[in-house]
Amino acid sequence: MAVYESDLPGVGKKFEVDLDDESRLVVVIHNTGKRELFIRPDPDADSEKLFELSDKLARQVGTIMEGAYFQPIKTDDIETVLSEESLIEWVKVPAESPVAGETLEDAGIREETGASVVAIQRDGETITNPGPDTTLMPEDTLVAVGSREEHDELESFVAGE
C-alpha cells in the first residue's frame, strides 16, 4: 500500500492511498479541520467526492477505524463464537471428500461429529436449513453450529481423515 502526501497551499494537506482494486482513496485535510474523502477509480479518472466530515467527527471515525473500540480477532478460519461452548464455523467440502455426493442424512454428519449443518453455501447462493435429503456437493461450504471439538471432528470427517 502506497500513501502519497502533498501540501495544498492555503488549504491543508492531501493524502492519497492506493487501494487493493487499483483505485485510490484521496483524503483532503483542510486547515480548518474539515476532511473531504474522494475516490479515484483509476489513475486517469477524476476524483469523485464521497463525503466530508467535521474535525470532531473525523477524529471519532478515525478512532473507530484504528480499532480503539473494537479489535477484530484474526483467525485462519472463519468462525463466529456464540458462547463459550458453541460457535459457528464454515467448512469446505473438498472434491475428494467421502461425503460429496451423499445426502446430509446418508453422510450422518451430526451423528458422527455432533455438529449441525444449518446452511450450505454453493455457487454464490445459500441453502438455509438444508433438509436431510439435501445432497452435498464438492466445493460446498457447510455452515455448522457446534463446540470446538465437534467442529474439529466435522473438519476431519468432511476431509475423510
Residue 89's pLDDT is: 87
C-alpha cell at 97: 471428500
Please give the torsion angle defined by the CA atoms of residues 69, 85, 115 and 93, in that order, rounded to the nearest 10 degrees.
30
C-alpha cell at 6: 502533498
Pairwise CA distance, residues 8 & 68, whole Å: 30
Is the separation of the CB atoms in 155 and 91 below 8 Å?
yes
pLDDT tens for 84-110 read 688 888 999 999 999 999 999 999 999
Residue 69's pLDDT is: 74
Q: Is the per-residue pLDDT at 34 higher than 70?
A: yes
Residues 65, 68, 73, 74: is their CA dihedral positive or negative?
A: positive
C-alpha cell at 137: 456437493
At residue 63 the predicted structure's pLDDT band, cuts being 50, 70 and 90, is confident
**Across residues 39-68, what is the average pLDDT?**
89
At residue 81 the predicted structure's pLDDT band, cuts being 50, 70 and 90, is low
- What does the angle CA 152 – CA 156 – CA 158 come to, to the nearest 5 degrees? 115
Helix or strand or coil: residue 59? helix
- What does the angle CA 147 – CA 102 – CA 132 come to, to the nearest 5 degrees? 65
